[in-house]
Structure 1
């Protein structure tokens, strides 16, 4: 009880003491005029006197009676009070006396269970704003970043303080490079005669008092120092070698510096290169660095001295720049020592299947580079086994070698196409080849083959060769049906296990070929008709599903259950046919729920775009001109970003128009924020799923999003960009929560109304996709673990973004708000 009363009475006093000590340890008194220091000291003194008087007035030692009451309240039945009580009624009655004695015995037995009461030191009621924790945080920060030696400077303030402040004194700091992740060191606290310093560390020294009273001698930077430079009051230099730092004069100090060298990164090409059937190459490598590799590049140049210079290569090739491919970096984890695979497909490059020299280069944060010795190899590319397709590819490469070969290429292609019926499996292939040949002849005759025309012809030749090599979708479907029929016939006629295994392998290969052709055709259709949407979204079956079905069929055949195997094969045929029908179906009208989800998704994308523009504007305020320097890089990245970057481009055009009208960027952003808030308000009025628990949660979350947008609008109008960015982040988080809840409400509604017609119309929530193209999952909720993109590009893009975030977070000159934002991104990802 005494501890509780001391804590509650004197918490303001020790809070004042903690705050005062923290400010002194951080050296705040050295950064202010003497008058301000005295004024603040007087304020803290008065505050401390008030806190002491308050504590003395409110504190009193606990009495025995209070302790008994406190202990008695912790036990059931208040046994202490019962033991002190006397019988007031029925003292002369035998039965009453017996009851009273039993009661007294029970209460005294409970007294044996008494335990010491734990003190309750909480003072939250007396300190609702948690000021005591603020003082404790200040003191903790002072212990980490301050020094007790700075407290002594307060003794220089007072009578004669001006003279003392001008006396010789010094301060120093050692700041390691940001990529080392080492803390800064306050040199005044270093008493040891020497210590280790990483290479490139920045030494900062400040001398106070009469100029010349203190001087610096150092041999770690390699710079020459004359007498005038040694006596400068402010000195900064980087550690480039081991040596000595000395501060000569009153209170001076000497250190022997041992520099920790920053080793250059190393990279090694290791392992064999794997090449898939379609020419995709996997090139393994390993890299290491003492502080981590930040970037890497694979540089490929043509080994002209190793090329077979016969036929179309008698003439020199057209000059092409070195082929540079960014090396993939680990997305997370340590980059000091790692192994990775560079996955690329060079089949379309003019040097495909020709001798090249490969050189890998990596770079660390200091800018040091590590190189491999040039390795002679054949640039991996797709190989063609159909003789006509191989001939077409050979002439394509001759055309890309030098366009001066165009006339000879056209002559050879005409000779190949002369006997079309005998060489081509389909007449249309010969017609396509003749059309391309005539185009090459015309351009060669008038010598008007530009780079774009040559690249277009090369692409046409490539597409034709692929079609002849693999066939089209109809050919793949025909092979698949033939393999299914042969397998079914073998099961009926009792074929041997070896024959069935061979036919099963044929079915697997035909299925893979069909899926490959189907995917390629859909991609071509999507490129020709972007409004058709992502072709991957139209696939109703995955290759894993088909693989499991074929494994089941083979297992049934091995067990001799031919009837069940034939039934499973029939189901597989129906599923493949349904997949083909799905490809030909057109889009159906959207339901109100899908329209609402799509509208909210668009609102979320626009809010993200506004937030990005506000962040770039904030960045431009602190780093003028940086956006212009990075414009070229942004344009290259923009070609890989699809519709998301197109939306930002439209926003950029709107921003430019606002600037032309004389409207400030903040006003433009605030107007667009208001329009977006009004749009969200309109969407909330027609929100489906109302009345359900999930629908109510969605409405509540969208209401919070609208409120955050309103606050962001006001912040933008006031020019408070950091506050606006925070409000926009809250709005986006609330929008995402609202979309998740709306997805749950729609899924529940679909399950309630699900029937035969609903299944026929695709009402199964497991078949629905969210506005970003992901499967909704079994319960229809928005958001799954399915990735939005497939292939290596998405991982490379993620690595590029993470590398850029790391690079910017290491630039100390950036504003604090931006560095905090980047640190939060690194902590999250």
Structure 2
């Protein structure tokens, strides 16, 4: 193969354009490096000219500034001319060659040092130059890189460019080509025009209207709000500018300012009229005064009684400009009060109640509706007739009133007879201190036999102390208020409950609701009492469920197997029906249904069946383990709530259980609520409670009966694993690792359940499956002594299986025994659907039931 022909002519001729561009870029770099101070000065000068700086300089100042800028430009340009050098073509080629791999431009300009006569060498060299030529064809001129940052450490060039940008946007760049307009002294023409004047009209601030410069107003008509301030300034000799006006009262005259030929005049426009300014530059204004109407306020409706006893009075206020302030006045209406009993004597004088009306913080105050909210539940006038009047004031000082409205001052009402009696005595005492002997006598009558009246003996002792204060002599206002405070707190305690017994609390809530129906309570009060009744009923049902768990028997009506049963859903529907009837005004029907519910709940009993677990070996151990399991579950729930409140504030022990929305709350008498743990448990840290549970489990294991068989060994292993998991949870709680503690507690709960299940199987093996009354049929029913109708059905799980002895889950019976297995399957599906729709059940259980429906409902 013959060698390629040599490249003819200049090998860099095809790269003339990239080389020229590279040389131009290098020239720009060197120019910027040499003259950037001069360019910065030019940018600053352009910015000053664009913002018309010369217009603010006098004829002498401008040449000085121009000369200074020129001298500075020469100083900055001289070093640049010394340093600047044009780049050569060789420098441009080297710069371009450095941007290419392998430096192909240098290879194209090289020649062979040896072997020019050798054909093979020349062919290889020609091939090499051909490849370099291909690479050189891809050459592109690099961009200029002046690298000015090291030369301008203070960023002066950036500031100058920013100024140029602002001047181009907000300035007048074309103004640099116009001559400066220097201020000139007034000429003869201006002096011949005589003295000048200026005027301003400033409306009152509350109107929100803008001020006016009278010299710039077109026409002679002015419409101004009443109270507008007119200010005038007259320049020249006093009296040289005639002035007259008819808008103020009295008429104002100009006043001369000291040390200057200036007269000032300020006046307030009180009526429509004329303002005339004489002279060659005079003006005449016809002022029309816009009257400011008085504000108005009205009550859309009187305040309704709220369950919390607070006053919530809506009002509507209007004004043409805006309301400045307002007040509400409440006075006692003696003529409308039933002056009997403790109100028969004249009341002690009390000042009227005055409240500031709330005004909108944002938005217009010209037309708005707000609500006056005040807590008057403890005031002596609460629930007594009063007169209410509202007044508002605008910025001009004008007022508007709503007129007097008579109504009962809203206050908290007490439906518990004991609480109502204490509140009535408190009202009489606050009405007049002369009622102190009467109040003491009534309290002594109440305390004749306090055992059935007050739930705690401390309440009776507190009332005895107040009786002594009332009978001790003249009662000071301070002592009276202290006695009234005690009676109020005790009435609240009786009204709100404070009963540890859930049944008594439920009965009390029913009685209070009945009393409210008889007294014609408002919808808000009835809704509050219905909510309290639902809460008390839920507590009572929870108590029955706990007692049923301990005794292995659910709530029943009576003692017979065929007695009527009621579910929580049926109770909920009855209460919803009661509330609906009351909202529709059918109070008689609501009261009848409420009495029926009361009788039904009172007849609900928990009975102890015969042949319980206490008669079986190991029955007590199963009960103790069941209680330990419940305590461990509660501790796990508390740990989860504690983790939800994390991160903890500084200085708080991570293992300490803090009170929160989901934590048990103490009753007013200091006792814990039913089903929410003792005060001792609430005071302990989570780690201490976990350690106590672990020790309790160890004690129970030591007292368990010695059983044989594989089930007993597996139960022992499971309980041992539960103890280890509890120990790990305790250590995690001490370390503040709540997530790890919850995982360990879940392991402990699962191990306890498995241990109880295996222990139940071991006990069944020990007692034998064929004992009387405990066969397949005996595991489901327990008969009475006669084997008749006294038999009861044991609690069942969601699939209808009976709960075995000692809370053992499982059944030895055939789940689908009987002929109609399809009806049994349909009943199971209906029960699962019902429990899935029950929102009061745990979400984990409902999720499990939904998965059962997804798997089996479509089959």
- Counting helix residues as a fraction of each chain, which structure ranks higher? 1
User: Given the two structures, how large is their TM-score scaled by the length of structure 1?
Assistant: 0.48
Larger Rg: 2
